[in-house]
Structure 1
């Protein structure tokens, strides 16, 4: 039985006690990265965000293909304005995970906290990313 992205993200949020769980994907027409879904966002700004490949949280994860962990946003390497999702959603800590898809670029699973919180360990992150990867594989099989 195919599960919806909403249900999967709600399960990830419950498993990790996250304030926000979001999915970003490469958007070919704009050649940028867009947030396509968010569970428990503060507002709808994420729907209008389009960052260049390699920029922002999702762009960096898609470009490098590696997880981006941040236990304190005050320690980010670039100014906060360079991370629109973090700024808009008032995030304090996050982990952004690459999710393999049939697309060359893939997707990003963003697990974030609005207050100080321990980030999920690597084993749990790998399990959650594969959980979301299954959704994309099923979606692509239908298309």
Structure 2
């Protein structure tokens, strides 16, 4: 299943023609009972730093989308130091424009799909619709 998910993430990167794609999944710490969100599958990464990012619900792009169950988008990120602190994946991958979508299963968030560009881009409604459809396609893997 792991290879299938990784292949699907790479396929989404090609189909959407974006620079970076990542899928965040969560686990609950057995001792603290705190949900931890991590970027598990990526395509287009420039380094391995994403592996060290640990988010809580409500923190970072993955955590915000996880908490709200809604899509999130931002642009011109490298010029906003406060955003770079709040959104560590944008800093480590030098992303300028991002959009993130919940992967829902029976109304519950099971993952977060992040797509991004390393340069400033206008994000169209059509692009957001297609990207959300890609997030929905991931549901079968979770």
- TM tier relative to shorter chain: 0.7 to 0.9
User: Displacement, 1:31?
Assistant: 2.1
* Whole-angstrom distance in 2 between the partners of 1:134 and 1:6: 13
5 Å-filtered alignment, 1:54-69, equals 54-69=58-73
> What's the counterpart of residue 128 of structure 1?
134
* Whole-angstrom distance in 2 between the partners of 1:52 and 1:76: 22
The count of residues paired between Structure 1 and Structure 2 equals 135
**Residues 1:33 and 2:37 aligned together:** yes
Residue 58 of structure 1 aligns to a residue in which SS?
helix
Contact 2:25 2:39 in 1 (8 A): yes
* Whole-angstrom distance in 2 between the partners of 1:18 and 1:92: 12
CA separation of 1:35 and 1:44: change in aligned 2, threshold 3 A = same
5 Å-filtered alignment, 1:87-126, equals 87-101=91-105, 105-119=109-123, 121-126=127-132
**TM-score, normalized by length of structure 1?**
0.83
Residue 55 of structure 2 aligns to a residue in which SS?
strand
Q: Which structure 2 residue ranges, 5 or more long, are not aligned?
A: none
CA separation of 1:48 and 1:77: change in aligned 2, threshold 3 A = closer
CA separation of 1:43 and 1:28: change in aligned 2, threshold 3 A = same
> What's the counterpart of residue 80 of structure 1?
84
CA separation of 1:42 and 1:63: change in aligned 2, threshold 3 A = same
